[in-house]
Copies of this chain bind each other. A is one copy, B any other.
């Protein structure tokens, strides 16, 4: 896992006029909306510029290509999970993690992930962003949570953190992406709540 492929352009100092933060945000908003409406294949830089209310020349000063624009949107929208914190027990640690991840999946982060997942299969820079912003933060929180629960004597030691991590994120991802949902529903959050007792039993939790 390296970041060699990540272009540094989005974060590089901008020559000339100082960057307009609200215009950048409008471009990132517009990119996410176009991705949702038309997918990666149907997104055009012209439509993004139009939706953001800027000229395509302005867009191209900041983003060199459609690929670069979507990479920037991925870095913007793939939400960090937030720091791990000890809530005092496995059930509440796990509920907090599920809730954080579900909220991300039910929002822009989830829509972005779904739109770019196929593209990341053959785009290393995009795959690196997904790894760093979706996979590694979740794995780190799962490992910390399991270590605390084993220390407290709540679960047997020697759990498989990779499997537990996939059991946390996988059902929410497949439920959100593969099943049709009514607009405004929160499939990740719904799944998180129904999943918690199953996960506690899977871990052999004393409290389950």
Chain A 33-55 near chain B by CB (<8 Å), digits 1 or 0: 00011111110000000000000
* B-side contacts of A1, CB under 8 Å: 180
Collect the chain B residues with CB atoms within 8 Å of residue A127's CB: 180
Interface size class of A (residues with CB under 8 A): 35 or more
Question: How far is it, in angstroms, between the C-alpha of A56 and the C-alpha of B178 when the chains are bound?
Answer: 33
Task: Name the residue of chain B whose CB is nearest to the CB of A160.
Answer: B194
Q: Is the CB of B117 within 8 A of A118?
A: yes
Closest chain-B Cβ to A109's Cβ sits at a distance in Å of 13
A121 and B131 contacting across the interface, CB-CB below 8 Å: no
In chain A between 88 and 130, which residues have their CB closer than 8 angstroms to a CB of chain B?
111, 114-119, 121-123, 127, 130
A202 to B167, CA, bound (A): 11
Which of A38, A41, A175, A201 lies at the interface centre, i.e. has the most chain B CB atoms within 10 A of its CB?
A41
A60 at the interface (CB under 8 A from B): no
* Chain B CB within 8 A of A140 CB: no
Task: Please determine whether B40 and A118 come into contact, CB atoms closer than 8 angstroms.
Answer: yes
Please tell me if the beta carbons of A167 and B194 are within 8 angstroms of each other in the complex.
Answer: no
With an 8 A cutoff between CB atoms, is A174 at the interface? yes
Rounded to whole angstroms, the CA-CA distance of A171 and B173 in the bound complex is: 9
Q: Are B177 and A166 in contact (CB under 8 A)?
A: no
- What are 25 contact pairs spanning A and B, CB under 8 A? A1-B180, A39-B118, A39-B123, A40-B40, A40-B41, A111-B121, A115-B121, A117-B177, A135-B178, A135-B179, A160-B194, A160-B198, A166-B171, A166-B195, A167-B170, A167-B171, A167-B195, A169-B170, A170-B172, A170-B174, A170-B175, A171-B171, A173-B174, A201-B201, A201-B203
